[in-house]
Structure 1
């Protein structure tokens, strides 16, 4: 998909990476895609929609930066066929400007 075909408010990187939700249990394990407005990621158990949560992203190269954000779960989908993993969409509600800039740099690098 080209940058001009993107229908969302912010372009997304489709390059996945590992992630932490700041809990010992490690509820969230992997990001499928990311934009300045949120992430779509894998979770080990279902998370109810509208759940508030913190998330810590270790953006890989070329950014190589730790990003901390808060958000709400806007979608939770069970993986087929076993339903033992879930994909959740988190809309950011709080992220610093410098962290937004880092996310944008990461996304734009992937779009080149």
Structure 2
């Protein structure tokens, strides 16, 4: 009986220690345009993304960059859609999940 209680206590401690910390915040979206010959306009006025990070430690908006890269833009009839991406800045990124809303940004090419 004593071993069952000890085993149960160890199991509860191990499961309880593996909980993730959830951090929610808004982050300004960075714009990367490597093709200076084309100028783009965001169709919807979206300048910030809502970010949810689940990780082993508390993270802040200074730990991550949210951006879209125009090299990923597939142009169709002067319009394109790009996916928002992220990269961590000076942080250990093991066991981290990231959700970004909105996921896509619609753009229009200005001639």
Normalising by the smaller structure, the TM-score range is under 0.3
Q: TM-score, normalised by structure 1?
A: 0.26
Structure 2 length normalisation: TM-score?
Answer: 0.27
Q: Which has the higher contact order (CA 8 A, sep 6+)?
A: 2
Name the larger-Rg structure: 2
